[in-house]
Amino acid sequence: MIEFDRKQLMASVKRVVVKVGSSTLSRNSELSSERLDHLTYDLTKLKQRGTEVVLVTSGAILAGGRQLGFNQRPGTIPELQASAAVGQIQLMQAYQSRLQQYGQIPAMALLTQEDFTSRQRYVHISDTLLTLLRLGAIPIINENDTVTVDEIKVGDNDTLAAYVTNLIDAYLLIILSDQKGFYTADPRTDIDAKLINVVSKIDDTIRVLAGKSSTDEGTGGMITKLLAAEIVTGSGGLMVLADGSEKNILNRILDGEAIGSLFLPQKRISSRHRWIAYSRPPKGQVFVDEGAHHALLNHGGSLLPCGVREITGDFEFGDTISCRDQNDKEFARGLVNYNTQEAQRIIGKNTHEIEQVLGYHHYDEIIHRDNLVLIS
């Protein structure tokens, strides 16, 4: 176990992203006034201690579905999208009325995967959110469910919150859930399940523990929470998973109280590297040979066609793809210089053969070093 001072660690947090799920915000499948009161009070206290705060909130589909007469989560995509359109207003009203009472200014941003995939949109949104923070507002973010379809969706708000944490360079993501944290087993079905207080590194043992779990109200389970932790800690940030029904939970976490599960950071990486590796799902995979693996890992090399054994997926120039070693283990991600068809034709070839095979030679590398991020 790594030794660290929790109070000191939390004292260095100047900017935090808080994610709250539908099940935490609701009671009996309706938005709960009491829960919203506690959350907005806690957020305000956080602001008052000088911490910049961004909230990522679910609950639109739940709130809208009720208004439109659904007794449970609607079954079709258009019904879900319609529910989000109605519920988003109610959700924001609920936040606005409360936060304004405390003298806070809420701001709304509805985002989708495209906003993270496109570098240009990414940079613009980051500028907007940072400006809102500088001006003292509390940005409140949800996925733009009314217009997004599966292909262009982030899909769950745990991942969205992790993307936002990276986007605004926040050091801490707090995910408020209906469980006390990350357990050794599902605590709802296994009485021996134990809370893990600190996860110093996410490895396969931890991944297996995430298992499958989901609630009726939301889309996330432990798997998406762990994925969020991988994104944030892989970028060099902290994540805490804690029980959203506990009072003053946010301020207690920032005070350094040992509460929930804390995921410790790996090496800090640059903003551009965070975008390449952790803001867009890889569109394909390259399986490299031992020599290439070694050169990328130890000698700061680029990935050349001759070091690639096999590729899978469907990618275009500039997409993020994943690099896998001889054991099929992912060890890097990077921006690819050729599309799938081109890459298929040049793998295994020497650089001077590229022109012969393709009829042109735009790049020497499949992935240039500057666009490659090693995953620890």
Instruction: Give the gyration radius of the chain's Cα atoms.
Output: 22
Q: Is 142 in the site for ligand GLU (CB under 6 A)?
A: yes
Span near ligand GLU by CB under 6 A; candidates 52-60, 258-266, 332-340, 366-374: 52-60
The footprint of ligand GLU on residues 107-126 (CB under 6 A) is none
Q: Is 170 in the site for ligand GLU (CB under 6 A)?
A: no
Whose CA is closest to 333, among 289, 369, 294, 290? 369
Whose CA is closest to 42, among 247, 317, 284? 247
DSSP state of 314: -
Q: Using CB under 6 A, pick the residue from 40, 58, 81, 148 that binds ligand GLU.
A: 58
Q: Is 59 in the site for ligand GLU (CB under 6 A)?
A: yes
Question: Which alpha helices (H) appear in the chain, and where do they start and end?
Answer: 6-11, 22-25, 33-48, 60-67, 77-101, 113-117, 119-134, 157-167, 204-210, 222-234, 249-254, 271-278, 290-298, 340-346, 354-358
Q: Helices (H), strands (E): how many in the chain?
A: 15, 15
Q: Is 52 in the site for ligand GLU (CB under 6 A)?
A: no
Q: Are 49 and 251 within 8 A, CB to CB?
A: yes
Nearer to ligand GLU, 61 or 202 (CB): 61
The 217-236 contact track toward ligand GLU, x by CB under 6 A, reads: -xxx----------------
Nearer to ligand GLU, 79 or 289 (CB): 79
The 71-110 contact track toward ligand GLU, x by CB under 6 A, reads: -------------x--------------------------
Q: Is 143 in the site for ligand GLU (CB under 6 A)?
A: yes
The 3-32 contact track toward ligand GLU, x by CB under 6 A, reads: ------------------xx----------
| Dist CA 117 CA 281 (whole Å) | 9
Span near ligand GLU by CB under 6 A; candidates 140-148, 263-271, 278-286, 322-330: 140-148
Nearer to ligand GLU, 62 or 276 (CB): 62
Nearer to ligand GLU, 279 or 337 (CB): 279
Minimum CB–partner distance for residue 139 and ligand GLU (Å):
15
Measure the N-to-C terminal CA separation of the chain; round to a whole number of Å. Answer: 18
Span near ligand GLU by CB under 6 A; candidates 100-108, 142-150, 320-328, 340-348: 142-150
Instruction: Enumerate the β-bridge partners of residue 139.
Output: 107
Q: Using CB under 6 A, pick the residue from 60, 82, 170, 232 that binds ligand GLU.
A: 60
Sheet containing 308-313: order of strands:
308-313, 284-288, 320-324, 330-335, 372-374
Nearest 10 degrees: Cα torsion 143, 146, 151, 154: 10
Chain residues in the site for ligand GLU (CB under 6 A): 21-22, 58-62, 84, 142-143, 145, 156-157, 218-220
